[in-house]
Amino acid sequence: MEEGAEKAEIYELQLNGATEIMEMLLIDVESDTSVRPGREDAYCSRNVLRKQRHWERQLAAKKSKRQEKKQRRKIHRQQGSGVSRDQPQFTKRVIKAITKERLAEAQSTGLKLCIDLSMTDNMSDKEISRLAGQLRRVYGSNRKACRPFHLFLTDLREDSRLFRECIRMNEGFLNYALNICEDSCLDLFPSEAVVYLSPDAEHALEIIDADKVYVLGGLVDESIQKKLSFSRARELNVCTARLPIDEYMDKKENIKNFYCKILSVNQVVDILLAFCDTGSWAEALQAWFPLGKGYVVAPRDSPSCSAVQTQANSTFLTHV
């Protein structure tokens, strides 16, 4: 019994000693933090803090992007049907009839727009599928437009991968209200009337002339080979032009520090359709230039933007 009591007393002394040591350590930590204020972050992981700051920046960027998208959707809704809110709403049958009439008129008197599909041989199957999807969106935008283009798909052979992919992906492709041609644009139109649109062209497109035929390079290039469409235009020996991005847009600071002027085929067509409808490059680029490219439309009161817009508006009314 005495031996058990002795062991219990020793255990209690050890426990009390451990408790005193813990209390002393706690006092040391508290006194240390009170002596050196502002050093609390030193006890946090630097990686945790860095990730938290990165997350906060991403959250702010996403919030800003959502607001910009909301504003853009509002603009698209106002322009989408081409019908004012004050005008009566049409039934689906009437809208379908109006669309059919507009497309028929465009194929007889509309502005001519060709998509040159001669550069698809070196494209991967994935790129071919993406291009087929872009052509579907081009046709969808053209159908909804108040002033649709007379569309031509040139250099599109029936035995090509792209043709088969368009049939597979795009329901009713053969019934699209456009011209599908195996010939090139120069087999259909005189070279002096052709204007090939390329981001590498020197001169900006100021007007859309009803006497011209505008050509886009039907190309999806994930390897980013430079000046392919421009080289094709040189091969055809025709005039070139680019969208007036430099004249109407400024770089916007972004987290990734990413800036790009290369657009997909359907994005270019959307911008051209909007310009034909409004006569304003600023409005067209504001509505349809992708937010993720790192550019925003310059303020309208900037001298260069105002001068170019005035010239474009006056000439636009003369030619279209």
DSSP per-residue string spanning 123-142 = S-HHHHHHHHHHHHHHHHHH
Instruction: Give the pLDDT mean for 41-68.
Output: 74
Q: 155 vs 65, which has greater pLDDT?
A: 155
63 domain-assigned: no
Q: Where are the beta strands (DSSP E) in 155-232?
A: 179-180, 194-197, 213-217
171 domain-assigned: yes
Farthest CA pair distance, the chain: 119
Q: What is the pLDDT of residues 149-171, one digit of tens each?
A: 999 999 999 999 999 999 999 99
12 domain-assigned: no
103 domain-assigned: yes
Structural domain span for residue 216? 73-319
3 domain-assigned: no
Position 303 scores a pLDDT of 47
DSSP SS3 for 195: strand
In the chain, the percentage of residues whose pLDDT exceeds 90 is 47
What total of structural domains would you count in the chain?
1
Sort strands 213-217 and 194-197 into parallel, antiparallel or unpaired: parallel
Position 314 scores a pLDDT of 44
307 domain-assigned: yes
Position 49 scores a pLDDT of 80
How many whole angstroms separate alpha carbon 257 and alpha carbon 235? 35
User: 150 has which bridge partners?
Assistant: 112
Position 85 scores a pLDDT of 47
14 domain-assigned: no
Position 84 scores a pLDDT of 46
202 domain-assigned: yes
Q: What is the pLDDT of residues 73-99, one digit of tens each?
A: 666 655 554 544 455 567 777 888 888
Per DSSP, helices labelled H in 81-180 are 92-109, 125-144, 161-169
- CATH number of domain containing 262: 3.40.1280.30
DSSP SS3 for 49: helix
